[in-house]
Amino acid sequence: MKAETIIKQQARNSLADQNWGVALAAFIFPACAFFMAQTVNSFSVIVRGASVEELANAPFARPEALLFFLLLQVLAVGILFVFSPVFVGAAKLYTDIAHGRQGRLSTLFGWFSGKHQYGRAVVFSLSLAVRNVLWALLCFFPCGFFVVLLRNFSVEGSGPLQEGIRLLWYFFLVLLILLGLALWVVLTSRYFLAPYLFLYKEELSAKACVMQSIFLMKKNKGRYLRLVLSFLPWLLSCFFVIPALYVVPYFQTACALSARWMLEEAGEGIP
């Protein structure tokens, strides 16, 4: 039996032990924080009556709209970091479930219990987020460049040839997006163990957790990517939103189990 199959079976068994409710909460609460940030982001465009495209084309035509837009963008990012300990708490909750413990809802908010815990969680989240965003900018830069080309060198006319060229261009854009996403998953897989090291190695700084994860994942990257690929059909179903209520807790618990195996093999077992 493949390791991925064993991990997935153990994840289902762990969740079936009266843990589905709290596992679902570990998905919903962070999702609400993300939704709040996205709502603020949308509000910045709606209130001022200016689209993102208009502001991009003529950023100084309406300086008050641009300023309001930028301020709310900062607020949206700020919301994510203010609530970032919830994301850390969710990782802890999934790890507890993966270890056969009874999940507790209070675990989600454990990093709000003190200034040291809260600050440590925010610094770690910021450190990891910056790295992931920088890799995303690199991976999706060709997509952005191609979009600029499409806007500046649009195909004129409405004949069959022109429609075929447009279709080919959009197909190429989708291909670039998929390739960028795949490359981003591969490149950021080096940080997979960082949250789990952060949870139980309090003596390590945020940077040390990331660096140690990069070192340990050199031997484990293939195992992690195989696990992700085994979940690919499930993850694709999340585009329909409702399946995510099942898939995300299942996937996160499986990831926590996989991380446990990797850390135990490296002599860094999670207690």
pLDDT digits (tens, 9 = 90+) for 132-178: 999 999 999 988 888 887 777 776 667 677 677 778 888 888 899 99
pLDDT tens track for 79-105? 777 888 888 989 999 998 988 888 888
Q: State the average pLDDT over residues 43-47.
A: 56
Q: Which of 75-89, 115-129, 217-231 has the lowest mean pLDDT?
A: 75-89
> Which residue in 164, 267, 166, 265 sits closest to 223, CA to CA?
265
Q: Is residue 271 part of a domain?
A: no
Q: What is the mean pLDDT of the chain?
A: 83
Give me the domain span that covers residue 9: 3-265
Structural domain count of the chain: 1
Q: Look at 223 and 30; give whichever has higher pLDDT.
A: 223
Name residues whose C-beta falls within 8 Å of residue 14's C-beta, 6 or more positions apart in sequence: 97, 98, 100, 253, 257
pLDDT above 70 for 214: yes
Mean pLDDT for the stretch of residues 111-136? 89
Specify if 270 maps to a domain: no
Give the mean model confidence (pLDDT) for residues 54-67: 56
What's residue 131's pLDDT? 94
In a domain, 163, yes or no: yes
pLDDT of residue 178: 92
pTM, rounded to two decimals: 0.83
Residue 24 has pLDDT above 80, yes or no: yes
Distance CA 92, CA 87 (A): 9
Tokens of 245: 């209520």
